[in-house]
Amino acid sequence: MDNVEIRKRRGSLHFIRFQTTDMGNFLSLAKQKGMAELVTTVCATGGGAFKFEQDFRDQVNMKLAKFDELDTLIKGILFADLHNRTECYYYENARDILKSEKQQFNFSQPFPFILVNVGSGVSILAVYGPDNYKRISGTSLGGGTFLGLCCLLTGCTSFEEAIQLATKGDNRKVDKLVKDIYGGDYNRFGLPGDLVASSFGQMHLNDKRVSVSREDLANATLVTITNNIGSIARMCALNEKIDRVVFVGNFLRVNPISMKLLAYAMEFWSNGTMKGLFLEHEGYFGALGCLLQFNGELAAALNDGVEHSIHTESDSASEAAQTSSTADEPPEKAPTSKHSTR
């Protein structure tokens, strides 16, 4: 993210990711490069902020300034959109996944909106202001479910491999469709024949199991997960009377097929009245937000558009943003938010 000002220093924000399984390697690299001599405090959020706190202290003599992951998520989103006017987008022609294309969306007046954070599981928030939000729903069926099932069904060993398989597969060879039950469209309720009626509904048939591919199984798993998330998100939006739904989270990082499937689900189940919105820096907002809370700069940024430069580290289970050693005073108390956590 270019041309960002923090503490009267202007520069770029650099976002880096790695798996939590590589945390030991990261700490070894930090020690080797003398990072602890330049940085004494790392702002962190998520479960890794607790899990790896002692490792940071013992191996590189760094302190972790920990912040609530939902507070930081929202603050990071608002800050990123404020400084990157192309941050938010949607998919045009969402019902035709092969032809759908990204289009910029003006998110300068965001409130209220539904925020769907898709990680290992899913949390859904209703956001009414920078410090006014509540957790309204969630599901345990998220990115972790997709990866776990793909590993069991296809023998893949990584998220990237699972997505690659899903991109090449066809869920219609796995799922039972409306036309498999009615012989075509179910016109009375406007259900097209290609709509999934039962996820994995054909896998009880031996001939179907024999002919199905790893790619088909991965694609069906992804369709199952995204359909479920999209359906829950739409119901939450209806209950809260909010028509703007934003999807974020590491599950969506470098994963256009999932975003297109979510966009399709929102478009279909809302009869075109709701669009799924997405953000360019998905997966990094918590890291950005906790840095802003540490420095107490978000309010000023929202008021006058001023911001700042950092080196940010993020991974799938925890997010951390480095600050300079001149900023190692105790973090300011975060504003009280109207929210509940999982």
Q: Are 195 and 225 in the same domain?
A: no
Rounded CA gap, 65 and 67, in Å? 7
What predicted TM-score, i.e. pTM, was given to this entire model? 0.83
Q: Are 14 and 100 in the same domain?
A: no
**pLDDT per position as a tens digit, 91-118:** 999 989 889 999 999 999 999 999 999 9
**pLDDT per position as a tens digit, 271-322:** 888 999 999 998 899 989 988 887 765 455 555 543 333 333 334 333 444 4
Determine, yes or no, domain membership for 49: yes
Q: Are 150 and 290 in the same domain?
A: no
Of 336, 317, 258, whose CA–CA distance to 17 is shortest? 317
Domains contained in the chain, number: 3
pLDDT at residue 235 in the model: 96
**pLDDT per position as a tens digit, 233-265:** 999 999 999 999 999 998 998 899 999 999 999
Q: Are 207 and 218 in the same domain?
A: no
Cα end-to-end span (Å), the chain: 31
Q: Catalytic one among 5, 37, 69, 240?
A: 69
Residue 334 has pLDDT above 70, yes or no: no
The rounded mean pLDDT for the chain is 86
Q: Catalytic site residue 69?
A: yes
Q: Are 114 and 254 in the same domain?
A: yes
Rounded CA gap, 165 and 287, in Å? 30
Domain that holds residue 292: 4-73+283-327
**pLDDT per position as a tens digit, 132-156:** 999 999 999 999 999 999 999 999 9
Rounded CA gap, 138 and 145, in Å? 14
